[in-house]
């Protein structure tokens, strides 16, 4: 599944491990939106790199980007039975969404929270995360590399 297929549903289980990469609102604009803050790497480039990392470890990596909170909640609920874990950049919903937190918890699957920037070096309202206390781990501040580190950590924990 590509980051552009927002209406698609997760694919059925396979014999390989599966991980979902979930990108929240506005991340479809990476590469052009505030490049001094978020870098010039596009979401497509990030997804391609994560899929290659997964393939090297015989793991299927499915990537999705959705702007709507309800869409994210529905997708996470539908993906839950078909994946072994999540890497999620909830973007602005990090600081506001109990619904995304509850959806992730309802899956019973581990997840890693990632951010391109160091949220503690930004506005005070960005310092709180509704996910961090229930996440397996949290990676931030390394730009696109944050995703790589998050996926590596999740896969290592999954075994």
Percentage of the chain lying above the pLDDT 70 cut: 89
pLDDT band for position 33 (cuts 50, 70, 90): confident
Render pLDDT for 42-77 as a digit per residue (tens, 0 to 9): 999 999 999 999 999 999 999 999 999 999 999 999
Residue 95 known to be catalytic: no
Q: What is the pLDDT of residue 7?
A: 43
- Average pLDDT for residues 86-106, to the nearest whole number? 95
CA distance 6 to 72: 9
Residue 147 known to be catalytic: no
**Would you list the domain boundaries of the chain?**
17-158
Q: Which of 23, 38, 82, 93 is catalytic?
A: 38
Instruction: For the domain made up of 17-158, give the CATH fold.
Output: Rossmann fold (3.40.50)
Alpha-carbon distances, residue 129 vs 49, 53, 69 (angstroms): 26, 27, 15
Q: Which of 23, 82, 115, 147 is catalytic?
A: 115
Residues in CB range of 61: below 8 A, 6 or more apart: 18, 19, 20, 21, 50, 51, 53, 54, 55, 151
């Amino acid at each position: 599944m590509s980051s552009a297929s927002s209406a698609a549903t997760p694919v059925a289980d396979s014999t390989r491990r599966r991980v979902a990469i979930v990108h929240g609102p506005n991340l479809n604009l990476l590469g052009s939106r505030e490049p001094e803050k978020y870098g010039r790497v596009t979401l497509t480039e990030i997804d391609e790199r994560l899929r290659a990392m997964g393939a090297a470890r015989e793991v299927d990596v499915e990537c999705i980007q959705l702007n709507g909170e309800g869409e994210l909640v529905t997708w996470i609920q539908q993906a839950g039975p078909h994946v072994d874990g999540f890497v999620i950049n909830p973007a602005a919903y990090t600081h506001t969404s109990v619904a995304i937190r509850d959806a992730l918890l309802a899956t019973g699957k581990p997840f890693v929270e990632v951010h391109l920037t160091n949220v503690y070096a930004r506005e005070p309202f960005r310092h709180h995360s509704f996910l961090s206390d229930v996440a397996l781990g949290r990676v931030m501040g390394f730009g696109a590399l944050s995703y790589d580190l998050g996926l590596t950590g999740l896969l290592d924990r999954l075994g």
